[in-house]
Amino acid sequence: MKPIWIVDDDQSIRFVLEKALTRESLPVRVFTNPRDVLAALDEDEPQVLVSDIRMPGGSGIDLLSKVKARLPGLPVIIMTAYSDLDSAVSAFQGGAFEYLPKPFDLPKAVELIRRAVDESVREEVIDERVTQMPEMLGQAPAMQDVFRAIGRLSQSNVTVMITGESGSGQELVARALHKHSPRGNGPFVAINTAAIPKDLLESELFGHERGAFTGAQTMRRGRFEQADGGTLFLDEIGDMPFDLQTRLLRVLSDGQFYRVGGHHPLKSNVRVIAATHQNLEDRVKHGVFREDLFHRLNVIRLRLPALRERREDIPTLARFFLQKSAKDLGVEAKRISEQALARLAAFDFPGNVRQLENICHWLTVMAPAQVIESKDLPPELLDSKVGVSSLAMPEPLAAASVANTAAPEAAAYSGTADAVRPSPEGWQGMPGETLAPVYQASSGLPNAAAPSVPSAVVVPEGGQDALPVTVAVAPTWLKDLERDARARLESGQTDVWDALTRQFEASLIHTALDLTRGRRIEAAQKLGIGRNTITRKIQELGIDD
């Protein structure tokens, strides 16, 4: 393991931390100023960096930004006195892992540094996996068939037609076919025939001579010449204009073509791979695609499955795209919860893999916390008909959802939960009615985005075949809050909002910290807030974690 670097001008802080970490069998290297750290980065790098904010010769905040520019995934812990709290909190915007207030409790400091080390090691493993990732991913049987086909075609120059919905990865397959073919060292040239106006497409494909048309001031080589000795990928071939299909057929037949405005034939040594999301047989029947060109292109057909046909690959693809987006943006990669992955896997993805990649890029930028939860997903997923019934959930909650559907006007609770439990109110109802147990989310707290009152399923005396009715049951904590608020307001208290809000927030944070044994980042993830938010609240509320 690489050493932990400690940067502080205070010799006593360096000494105490060095001895404590050495006792934990963690290698340590100490520095007195940021300049020496930046110089050392030219030859080595730390597992974790622990830095003071205020030091002679440089600021810890400046050091943080410079280190993150070189090593985006490095966990950096900022040490600060209480008076520097605002600076420490703002450091999170620069990517700090956590802050360590002075004077600190030594065991807590060691525990925090150990968490940072664990995070760093985990990120290194993920980065190594990403660098070793193949150009295509997929464990689904349909994708394994595609991989086997690419393997069989690896020593061939035969023309291939790739079919499948838009966004399913046709160009990736074409690049793989080129890379693993005898032409792998030659150029790979791609052109989307649907994206180029008809008047320009002929020149794009075959090139033009100087003066061939208005604006043609110089001779230009077309894509067939550019791809000589390699592979030309014709995407969306089904949209190619009919008259150009004739010229393409001639090139495929005898390997010769003319530039626009040219009089001398040119020889083409190009392997053609075509792709389309359309049904070419239907286009042939309707007379908009040449049948002879279809048969010339359709030597080997490779069908790519839609993403909804390979749902088991969605978690792997999502994690890969989150890593890729973070690397592209130079930020820390976000993780995704199992519930969020389940909702992703249940979505149909009309845009296929391209849509999933775009969603992961959106989440990298927009998700508020380092762990992506279901509520962080973009609106098109949250607003879709993918509900809790399509995800894994306990049977009692599923039953309650069915009952709510049967009587929507009376339903007062809906949503997902990791677990359900009987409500403290137990069995409730009107005299003479048989009741099913009341179920509510295990958190017992309201969801701001949906009605938050639990419900009971009432079975009328008519028997089990009668239509069930849902009765709203108010949670006791809301009644207690109402009574407390009323008493304060009636007594003339003027800070009711602030006082109750502080109590509510403190109770939530206390509970989360208790469940996570004081681990702030994990507590923030459970609460669905950012780690800088929980840090600020702990200080504002005076919570001892």
* pLDDT given for residue 197 in this prediction: 84
Of residues 430 and 92, more confidence is placed in 92
Distances (CA, A) of 364 to 316, 317, 521: 16, 14, 18
Distance CA 214, CA 227 (A): 26
As given in the structure block, the two tokens for residue 80 are 């600060």
pLDDT above 90: residue 294 = yes
Helices 11-23 + 106-131 axis angle, to 10: 70
pLDDT above 50: residue 469 = no
The backbone region for 164, taken as left when phi is positive above 0, alpha when psi lies in -120 to 50, beta otherwise, is left
How confident is the model over 189-206, as pLDDT tens digits? Answer: 999 988 888 778 888 899
Of residues 21 and 430, more confidence is placed in 21
* pLDDT given for residue 85 in this prediction: 52
Of residues 139 and 275, more confidence is placed in 275
Give the dihedral sign, CA 294/297/299/301. Answer: negative
The domain locations on the chain are: 4-131, 141-304, 311-382, 388-474, 478-541
Q: Which CATH number, 1.10.580.10, 3.40.50.300, 1.10.8.60, 3.20.20.70, labels domain 311-382? A: 1.10.8.60
Residues 427-433 have a mean pLDDT of 36
* pLDDT given for residue 135 in this prediction: 56
* pLDDT given for residue 137 in this prediction: 75
Q: Is 231 helix (H, G, I), strand (E, B) or coil?
A: strand
Of residues 137 and 524, more confidence is placed in 524
Average pLDDT, the chain: 77
* Nearest CA-CA partner of 532 in 23, 99, 130, 234: 99
* pLDDT given for residue 91 in this prediction: 56
Whole-model pTM: value is 0.49
pLDDT above 60: residue 421 = no
* pLDDT given for residue 480 in this prediction: 80
As given in the structure block, the two tokens for residue 513 are 């910290």
As given in the structure block, the two tokens for residue 257 are 């073509």
Q: Which CATH superfamily is domain 4-131 in?
A: Response regulator (3.40.50.2300)
Bond into 394 cis (ω within 30): no
* pLDDT given for residue 87 in this prediction: 59
How confident is the model over 134-171, as pLDDT tens digits? Answer: 557 778 888 888 888 888 888 888 999 999 998 888 99
* pLDDT given for residue 327 in this prediction: 84
Q: Is 469 helix (H, G, I), strand (E, B) or coil?
A: strand
* pLDDT given for residue 543 in this prediction: 79
* pLDDT given for residue 292 in this prediction: 92
Q: What H or E segment, with its residue span, contains residue 220?
A: strand 220-221
* pLDDT given for residue 441 in this prediction: 33
CATH code of the domain occupying 478-541? 1.10.10.60
Q: Of 330-334, 424-428, 458-462, 470-474, give the range with the top mean pLDDT.
A: 330-334
Residues forming a β-bridge with 471:
456
Say whether domain 141-304 belongs to CATH 3.40.50.720.
no
pLDDT above 70: residue 248 = yes
How confident is the model over 70-119, as pLDDT tens digits? Answer: 887 788 888 877 555 555 555 565 677 777 888 888 888 898 898 888 87
- 4-131 and 141-304 share one fold: yes
